[in-house]
Amino acid sequence: MTTVYDGISDRLRGWLEEQPVFFVGTAPLSGDGLVNLSPKGTRGTFRVVDAHTVAYLDLTGSGVETIAHLRENGRICVMFCAFDGRPTIVRLHGTGSVLARDEPGFAEALAAFGEPGTSRRHGARSVITVAVERVADSCGYAVPRMDLVEERNVLDLAHAKKSPQVMADYHREKNARSLDGLPGL
């Protein structure tokens, strides 16, 4: 049974910020465009700003679909699943915005993440902020129970090997357009 909440409570905030993985869904306006679903992880890279606002660090990766879709239409859904404890799924529907690393205010937005923002500054390409319009949970009865063995450090290690110029070149060459040709970075 789904429960729709007025906003993100303190209890829910604690639960969301403790989850080791979440998923971000976006889509272009075009009916034949590709829907995107991206896993996001690493504790400390997601934060609840207030009862109707969340933000996460968008780390440099191979695709730029979320950024492109948000810049085109803003629609986003962030989903969390409980892999241990009470079987729960929480979805945050809203309108997302992108603050890219070369835009004014990026340093302040990154600093709000504390140590995870500081340690991942080199690999962060943007901060995604979501104005949450709907907060709902549902049962996670079909979600398997799983144990977190450890977080992967592969992305952090890959970013550390690249100079600032190499990262900038990567963003320009690989993150300029979405799979559907929408503008990215």
Mean pLDDT in order along the chain per 10 residues (185 residues): 94 95 97 95 93 97 94 98 93 98 96 93 96 95 91 90 94 94 94
Model pLDDT, residue 51: 98
For residues 62 and 176, is the Cβ–Cβ distance under 8 A? no
Model pLDDT, residue 25: 98
For residues 113 and 107, is the Cβ–Cβ distance under 8 A? no
Q: What CA–CA distance (Å, rounded) separates 145 from 65?
A: 30
Counting Cα atoms < 13 Å in the Cβ hemisphere of 179 gives 13
Model pLDDT, residue 62: 83
Model pLDDT, residue 23: 97
For residues 23 and 35, is the Cβ–Cβ distance under 8 A? no
Q: Give the E-state strand segments of the chain in sequence order.
A: 3-5, 21-26, 36-41, 46-50, 53-59, 75-81, 88-100, 124-139
Both tokens of residue 49? Answer: 């700003």
Model pLDDT, residue 22: 97
Total residues belonging to the chain:
185
Both tokens of residue 18? Answer: 């403790």
Model pLDDT, residue 26: 98
Q: What CA–CA distance (Å, rounded) separates 128 from 55?
A: 5
Model pLDDT, residue 54: 98
Model pLDDT, residue 109: 96
